[in-house]
């Protein structure tokens, strides 16, 4: 149970800026996901909150108390490391039970809690193994169990599911979400997998190049991306972005025009999600091109259409696959488009 | 497969040959020598069997040398490794002028043993020595103590000099080992709530356990066979108070030309070292700790 406040938190490694003046208020019991591409500063942010890295600027407050100078040991949190950081000479059980042992929990109680935590991550039966005798995914689950064996003020999890297979990841995701909600422990969770972010988060913080791009609920981030980076990062496949010009109430592109009612004039980037587009005959479509590829995904088909010098992804029904090379048109639902400034990519809030 | 077998023999041959010529030939020669009575007056070796062992071990002198050797080895090894380890822990912190500090610490080890011994002879000198003049000026004693000439202090004095020369070697090896410990494991232990001592015990020491073991065995063998510092400082005196196997063997063989007896001492010292090697193997076996569920 804790609130975490970051005030202009920054970190430099020599000349390299790993994190630029981050402002963020995390509420008690919140599941906050830090999402961003590799190298954007996610781990660095975590390590500063944990007390493993000194910030070069700004403050960290936990429950309203400034903790900058406070030792990691005294911050009462649990962390899952990106590279697991298991103790190689201890068994799985000893690894999981170490935080309890250090705090003087007696053996019987420890064994009970370790077994419960191991069961939660499907590791029962492996308690006597050593980390070297486990697969990558199993090691990752040991790291996870070591964090959840105790109920700290704050969970910090750095890509805790990155090495699991798709099925186990889905199961673990549900387990984690359930656990977090039943414990109500504030959790900061790092991932670069946007599906994980969407499904787990109360709020998502999108980081890119050491800066916050957007903070919002998964719904907000998905439906109202703050800029072209977020638009192009969230969603699978992500939003289509087309550069063009708005003139006479329509978006104009070399491959066609899209009528837009209340739109600003000038150079813009038009964004549309694949599921908000439809295929049509070239004659009654907004944009025309040729089929570049057609991929059956199971519950849908993803058709990539070459328009101008780019590709536009369109999600259609599973039996609407197209022949590669065929001439085809794309229809846009004007109400479901997004506009971004051509310069800088900021969202233009003039859409109805 | 067959080809591989021959290849490996071919690659091993030079090493085996070198060991054979330079190590096993003289060693076996020493064992054979110990069964013969040879001396300056009686240059024709006469086979005496185990008689020489009986004579040598019958004298109090032998047991004195054995006891001295054990005290000397245990003290030097223990002090050198403990001090070396803590110096390594200190050097492993971020220090100002780190490179310089490390170089200065290493200095005693790069000095030749004879130079170190001469240096410490000056330090211990009853009239001119730094140690005595310090004690006198501090009012702890009125006249200089002859550290190296007194039976009660000589061994301690020699041990101190050897530790001074030897600890940088241990520190260097421990420092390298400490730097190879996974930083994230230490960080994980910190977050799990472990204090500095606990992290040292639970994470760092187990990680460098094998280095410690090798280092202790190595310094044990080197110390047991140490010659120059002791010889230059005391020649095994006073009255045999600092006589250890190497000084005794040298004195018997090249001082009194009693080669047979010297060889007997030599074989006995090999026996003691073999015991150390056996302990090392046992300690390594014990390394596979019992697996516990928590
Ligand atoms: N100890 C360090 N010394 C120098 N630079 C560092 C250090 N740690 C991180 N960096 C740099 O800081 C930036 C942010 O690193 P960080 O580890 O926070 O990225 P990340 O978002 O966690 O990426 P990933 O998804 O790949 O784990 C990177 O450019 C990285 O090279
Ligand atoms: Mg990272």
Q: How many CA atoms lie within 13 A of A129 on its CB side?
A: 14
pLDDT at residue A131 tops 90: yes
pLDDT at residue A69 tops 60: yes
Q: Does B206 touch chain A if contact means CB atoms closer than 8 Å?
A: yes
pLDDT at residue A341 tops 80: yes
Q: How many CA atoms lie within 13 A of A308 on its CB side?
A: 13
Give residue-wise pLDDT tens across range A186-230.
999 999 888 899 999 999 999 999 999 999 999 999 999 999 999
Beta strand pairing call for A4-13 and A16-26: antiparallel
**A284: helix, coil or strand?**
helix
Give residue-wise pLDDT tens across range B153-168.
889 889 999 999 999 9
Of A236-240, A326-330, B52-56, the range with the lowest mean pLDDT is B52-56
CB contact set of B280 (below 8 Å; sequence gap of 6+) = B213, B217
DSSP structure class, residue A282:
G
d(CA B69, CA B75): 10
DSSP structure class, residue A334:
G
Ligand 1 atom index nearest CA of A37: 25
Residue B188 has its nearest CB partner, among A85, A101, A128, at A85
Q: Does A297 touch chain B if contact means CB atoms closer than 8 Å?
A: no
Q: Does A50 touch chain B if contact means CB atoms closer than 8 Å?
A: yes
Q: What is the pLDDT of residue A352?
A: 43
d(CA A200, CA A178): 10
Q: What strands lie across the sheet with A57-62, from one edge to the other? A: A16-26, A4-13, A57-62, A65-66
Q: What is the mean pLDDT of residues B10-19?
A: 87
Domain covering A4-229 in this structure, CATH number: 3.40.50.300
| % of chain A residues with pLDDT over 90 | 68
Q: What is the pLDDT of residue B1?
A: 58
Report yes or no: B170 and B211 within 8 Å, Cβ to Cβ: no
Domain covering A239-341 in this structure, CATH number: 2.40.50.140
Q: What is the pLDDT of residue A344?
A: 86
Q: Per DSSP, what are the bridge partners of residue A302?
A: A295, A315
Residue from A72, A132, A148 whose CB has the most chain B CBs within 10 Å, to mutate: A72
Q: Does B189 touch chain A if contact means CB atoms closer than 8 Å?
A: yes
Report yes or no: A6 and A60 within 8 Å, Cβ to Cβ: yes
Q: What is the pLDDT of residue B288?
A: 64
Ligand nearest to the CA of A208: 1
Cα Rg of chain B (Å, integer): 24
Q: What is the pLDDT of residue A136?
A: 85
d(CA A222, CA A232): 10
C-alpha dihedral sign at A341, A346, A350, A351? positive
Residue A91 has its nearest CB partner, among B194, B203, B292, at B292
Chain B residues inside the 8 Å CB shell of A144: none
Q: What is the mean pLDDT of residues A224-248?
A: 91
For residue A87, the chain B residue with the least C-alpha distance is B185
Give residue-wise pLDDT tens across range B130-147.
888 888 888 777 777 778
Size of interface A-B (CB pairs under 8 A): 81
CB contact set of B279 (below 8 Å; sequence gap of 6+) = none
Instruction: Give the position of tokens 């042992």.
Output: A101
Give residue-wise pLDDT tens across range A268-314.
999 999 999 999 998 888 999 999 999 999 899 999 999 988 899 99
Report yes or no: A101 and A110 within 8 Å, Cβ to Cβ: yes
Q: Per DSSP, what are the bridge partners of residue B52?
A: none
Q: What is the pLDDT of residue A350?
A: 60
**Backbone phi and psi for residue A283, each to the nearest 5 degrees, phi listed first:** -65, -40
**A5: helix, coil or strand?**
strand
H/E run at residue A45: helix A42-50
Q: What is the pLDDT of residue A316?
A: 93
Q: What is the pLDDT of residue B2?
A: 63
Cβ A182 under 6 angstroms from ligand 1? no
Ligand 1 atom index nearest CA of A11: 12
Q: What is the pLDDT of residue A310?
A: 87
pLDDT at residue B110 tops 70: yes
- Tokens for A140, please give them: 């990752």
Ligand 1 atom index nearest CA of A192: 25
Question: Is the pLDDT higher at B33 or at A53?
Answer: A53
Asked whether the beta carbons of residue A146 and residue B203 sit closer than 8 angstroms, the reply is no
Asked whether the beta carbons of residue B293 and residue A101 sit closer than 8 angstroms, the reply is no
Give residue-wise pLDDT tens across range B216-258.
988 998 999 888 888 988 888 788 888 898 998 898 888 888 8
Ligand 1, atom 28, lies closest to the CA of A39
Asked whether the beta carbons of residue A93 and residue B184 sit closer than 8 angstroms, the reply is no
B177-214 core/surface letters (b: 16 or more CB in 10 A; e: else): bbeebeeebbbbbbbbbbeeebbbebbbebbbbeebee
d(CA B102, CA A13): 25
Q: What is the mean pLDDT of residues B37-55?
A: 75
Dihedral, CA atoms, A61, A66, A69, A75, nearest 10 degrees? -60
Report yes or no: B52 and B37 within 8 Å, Cβ to Cβ: yes
Q: Where are the domains of chain A?
A: 4-229, 239-341
Asked whether the beta carbons of residue A72 and residue B184 sit closer than 8 angstroms, the reply is no
The whole-model pTM stands at: 0.80
A210 alpha carbon – ligand 2 mean position (Å): 12
A18 alpha carbon – ligand 1 mean position (Å): 6
Q: Which listed CATH number (3.40.50.2300, 2.40.110.10, 3.40.630.30, 1.10.3720.10) goes with B59-257?
A: 1.10.3720.10
Q: Does B290 touch chain A if contact means CB atoms closer than 8 Å?
A: no
Report yes or no: B121 and B146 within 8 Å, Cβ to Cβ: no
Confidence of residue B287 (pLDDT cuts 50, 70, 90): low
Instruction: Give the position of tokens 């029962």.
Output: A124
Chain centroid offset of residue A335 CA:
27
Q: Please give, rounded to a whole number of angstroms, the shortest distance from the CA of A75 to a CA of chain B.
A: 8
ipTM over 0.85: no
Ligand nearest to the CA of A191: 1
Beta strand pairing call for A77-80 and A154-158: parallel
Asked whether the beta carbons of residue A81 and residue B187 sit closer than 8 angstroms, the reply is yes
pLDDT at residue B39 tops 80: no
d(CA B95, CA A263): 62
Q: What is the mean pLDDT of residues A62-66?
A: 92
Q: Please give, rounded to a whole number of angstroms, the shortest distance from the CA of B194 to a CA of chain A.
A: 6
Q: What are the angstrom distances between the C-alpha of A339 and each of A182, A240, A243?
A: 40, 11, 10
Residue from B181, B182, B184, B191 whose CB has the most chain A CBs within 10 Å, to mutate: B191
Q: In whole numbers, what is the pLDDT of chain B averaged over residues? A: 86
Q: Does B198 touch chain A if contact means CB atoms closer than 8 Å?
A: yes
Asked whether the beta carbons of residue B194 and residue A110 sit closer than 8 angstroms, the reply is no
pLDDT at residue B59 tops 80: yes
Q: What is the DSSP string of A124-185?
A: TT-TTS-GGGS-HHHHHHHHHHHHHTS--SEEEEESTTTTS-HHHHHHHHHHHHHHHHHHT-
pLDDT at residue A264 tops 60: yes
Asked whether the beta carbons of residue A98 and residue B192 sit closer than 8 angstroms, the reply is yes
d(CA A53, CA A60): 12
């Amino acid at each position: 149970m804790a609130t975490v406040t970051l005030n202009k938190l920054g970190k430099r490694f020599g000349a390299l800026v790993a994190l630029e003046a981050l402002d963020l208020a995390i509420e008690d019991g919140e599941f906050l996901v830090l999402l961003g591409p590799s190298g954007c500063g996610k781990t660095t942010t975590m390590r500063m909150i944990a007390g493993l890295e000194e910030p070069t600027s700004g403050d960290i407050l936990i429950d309203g108390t400034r903790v900058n100078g406070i030792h990691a040991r005294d911050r009462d949190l649990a962390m899952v490391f990106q590279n697991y950081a298991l103790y190689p000479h201890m068994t799985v059980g000893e690894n999981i039970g170490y935080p309890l042992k250090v705090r003087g929990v007696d053996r019987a109680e420890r064994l009970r809690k370790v077994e419960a935590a191991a069961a939660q991550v499907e590791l029962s039966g492996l308690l006597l193994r050593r980390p070297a005798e486990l697969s990558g995914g199993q090691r990752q689950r040991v790291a996870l169990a070591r964090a959840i064996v105790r109920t700290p003020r704050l969970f910090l999890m750095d890509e805790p599911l990155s090495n699991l297979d798709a099925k186990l990841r889905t199961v673990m995701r549900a387990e984690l979400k359930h656990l977090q909600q039943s414990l109500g422990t504030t959790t900061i969770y790092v991932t670069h997998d946007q599906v994980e972010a969407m499904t787990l988060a109360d709020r998502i913080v999108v980081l890119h190049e050491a800066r916050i791009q957007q903070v919002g609920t998964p719904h907000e981030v998905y439906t109202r991306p703050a800029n072209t980076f977020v638009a192009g990062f969230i969603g699978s496949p992500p939003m289509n972005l087309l550069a063009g010009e708005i003139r006479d109430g329509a978006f104009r592109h070399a491959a066609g025009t899209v009528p837009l009612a209340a739109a600003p004039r000038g150079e813009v980037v038009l964004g549309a999600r694949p599921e908000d587009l439809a295929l049509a005959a070239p004659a009654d479509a907004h944009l025309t091109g040729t089929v570049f590829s057609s991929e059956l995904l199971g519950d849908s088909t993803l058709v990539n259409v070459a328009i101008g010098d780019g590709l536009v992804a369109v999600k259609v029904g599973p039996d609407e696959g197209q022949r590669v090379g065929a001439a085809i048109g794309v229809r846009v639902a004007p109400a479901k488009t997004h506009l971004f400034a051509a310069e800088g990519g900021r969202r233009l809030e003039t859409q109805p | 497969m067959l080809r591989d077998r021959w290849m490996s023999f071919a690659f091993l041959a030079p090493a085996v040959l070198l060991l054979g010529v330079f190590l096993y030939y003289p060693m076996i020669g020493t064992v054979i020598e110990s069964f013969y009575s040879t001396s300056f007056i009686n240059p024709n070796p006469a086979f005496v069997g185990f008689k020489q062992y009986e004579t040598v071990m019958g004298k109090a002198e032998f047991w004195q040398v054995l006891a001295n050797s054990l005290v000397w080895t245990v003290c030097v090894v223990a002090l050198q490794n403990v001090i070396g380890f803590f110096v390594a822990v200190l050097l492993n912190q971020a220090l100002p002028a780190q490179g310089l500090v490390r170089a200065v610490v290493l200095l005693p080890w790069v000095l030749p043993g004879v130079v170190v011994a001469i240096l410490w002879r000056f330090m211990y000198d009853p009239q001119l020595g730094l140690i005595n003049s310090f004690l006198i000026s501090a009012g702890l004693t009125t006249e200089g103590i002859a550290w190296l000439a007194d039976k009660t202090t000589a061994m301690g004095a020699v041990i101190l000099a050897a530790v001074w020369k030897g600890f940088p070697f241990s520190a260097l090896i421990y420092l390298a080992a400490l730097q190879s410990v996974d930083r994230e494991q230490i960080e994980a232990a910190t977050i799990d709530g472990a204090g500095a001592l606990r992290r040292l015990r639970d994470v760092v020491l187990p990680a460098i356990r094998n280095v410690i073991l090798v280092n202790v065995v190595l310094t044990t063998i080197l110390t047991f066979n140490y010659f120059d510092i002791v010889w230059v400082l005391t020649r095994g005196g006073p009255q045999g108070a600092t006589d250890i196997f190497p000084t005794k063997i040298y004195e018997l063989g090249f001082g009194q030309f009693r080669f047979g007896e010297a060889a007997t001492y030599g074989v006995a010292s090999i026996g003691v070292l073999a015991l150390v090697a056996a302990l090392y193997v046992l300690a390594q076996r014990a390394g596979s700790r019992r697996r516990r569920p928590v």
